[in-house]
Chain A
Amino acid sequence: MEDGVTATQVVFWILAVVMLVSAIGVVTAGNIVYAALFFIASLAGVAGIYLILTVEFIALVQLLIYGSAVVILILFALMLTRARERPQALFGRSRPLGIAASLGLLAALIGGIVATTWTTPESSSAIQPVGLQAIGDAIFTIWIVPFIIVGVLLSIALDGAIMLASPDEDDN
C-alpha cells in the first residue's frame, strides 16, 4: 500500500510541474497563440490531477468543455482579432507592479496554507471515490435549482454572445 501511495505522489508532482510550467508559459509567452497552446497543456495537467483525486467525471467534463470548446473559442478570437499581423508589446506598463502583487498574493496564500493544520487521511483506502450515481443524485436533487439557473444562464449567454458578435444591420 505504501508503495502505491508514493507512485501516486510521483505522478501528482509530475502533473503539477507540467501544469505550473505551462501556466507560466501562458502568462509569459511572447506569442499569443503559444499562450493559448500552453493553456491547453495546463488544462491537461489540471484534468490529470482531477483523475488522481478520483473524480473522473470532472476530469472528463474539463476535457470536454475546456479542452475543445473553450480553447477553440479562444483560438477563434485570436484569429478574429488578427493576432499575428500586429507584433506588439503584450505586457502593460504596470508589469513590475503586477509581478510584485502576485508574488505577495502567493506569499499570503502559502503562509495561510502552511499555518493551518490540515488532516489528510492516512491511506488512500480511507478516501471513498465519489460515484457517478452520487454526483447525478446530488445535481438533480439538492442542486436542481442552481442547475436550472445555470441552464438559463447558458442560453442567455449564447444569445448575448450572438448579439455581441453579429454585425450591426444599420451601420455598414
Chain B
Amino acid sequence: MPPLDHILIVNAVLFAIGAMGVLTRRNAVLILLSVELMLNAVSLNMVAFAVYGHVDFGNITGIIFAFFIIVIAAAEVALALGIVVRTFRNRATANVDEVNLLKW
C-alpha cells in the first residue's frame, strides 16, 4: 500500500488540474469535464481516508460517500449537458463567455 500522503498529493494535483481546466477553458462541455476531474479527486480522497481508517464513523463512510458522489455526478452531467445543448440551440454557441445575456 502506498503511504496516505502520497495518495493525497496525487489527488491534490488532480484537483488542481481540474480547477485549472475550469478556470481556463471556455467551452461548457470542457468545463464540465474538468469539474468531473475535480469530483474524481475528491472521491478518491474520500476512499483513501476510509481505507486508511481516518474517519470517525468507521471505515465505510468514505466509500459510501464516493458512491454517492459518482451517482450524483451522473445526474449532474445529464442536466448540465441538457443545458448546454439547449443553450447551443438558442445561441449557437457552447462557450460560456459568449452566453452573457440574462434575457433576450
Q: Which residues of A contact B (CB under 8 A)?
A: 5, 8-9, 12-13, 16, 19-20, 23-24, 26-27, 32, 35-36, 39, 42-43, 46, 49-50, 52-55, 57-58, 61-62, 65-66, 69-70, 73-74, 76-78, 80-81, 83, 88-95, 97-99, 101-103, 105-106, 109-110, 113-114, 118-121, 123-124, 127-128, 130, 134-135, 138-139, 143, 146, 150, 153-154, 157-158, 160-165, 167
Contact of A128 among B1, B59, B63, B86 (CB under 8 A): B59
Q: A70-B36, A120-B1 are in contact. Are A106 and B13 (CB under 8 A)?
A: yes
Interface string of B21-58 (1 = CB under 8 A from A): 11111110110111011001001100110111110000
Which of B24, B32, B63 has most chain A Cβ within 10 Å? Answer: B24
Do B64 and A143 touch (CB < 8 A)? yes
Q: A98-B24, A130-B63 are in contact. Are A76 and B79 (CB under 8 A)?
A: no
* Prevailing SS type, chain A contact patch: helix
Cα A113 to Cα B17 with chains together (Å) = 17
Q: A32-B29, A95-B24 are in contact. Are A26 and B37 (CB under 8 A)?
A: yes
Do A118 and B16 touch (CB < 8 A)? no
Cα A124 to Cα B2 with chains together (Å) = 9
